[in-house]
Amino acid sequence: MSNEALGILMVAVMVGFACGIIAGVIAAKKNRSQGAFFLLGFFFGPLGVLATALVGSGAPSAPAGMRAVTALAAPPGRTSTITPPSSSAGSAKRL
C-alpha cells in the first residue's frame, strides 16, 4: 500500500471517528442509543450526523431508582380496555 493511499485511509477513519462522536453526542441529548448513532456517524459520515440531527427524541429516561415501562394502547375502536364493575354485583352495602 502506498503512502498516499495510507494517508487517504487515515483521513477517512479520522473523519468517520469525528462524525461518530458528534452523532453519539447528539443522540445522547435526544435520549437515543449512543452506540448505534456512533456507528451511523462513523460509517456514513456527515450524512449520519444529519440523520441523527433530524431524528426525533426518544422516550424520556426514568427517574433515579425507577425503571421505565411502556403502556399498551387500546384496541382500535375502543377507548378503554378496563370494564367498570356493575352496580349490583360485588358492591358493598351502604349503611
Q: What angle do CA 14, 35, 16 make, to 5 degrees?
A: 15
Name the pTM for this structure.
0.64
Q: What is the pLDDT of residue 95?
A: 56
Q: Mean of the pLDDT values across residues 59-73?
A: 81
- pLDDT-derived band at 1 (thresholds 50, 70, 90) equals confident
Q: Mean of the pLDDT values across residues 11-32?
A: 96
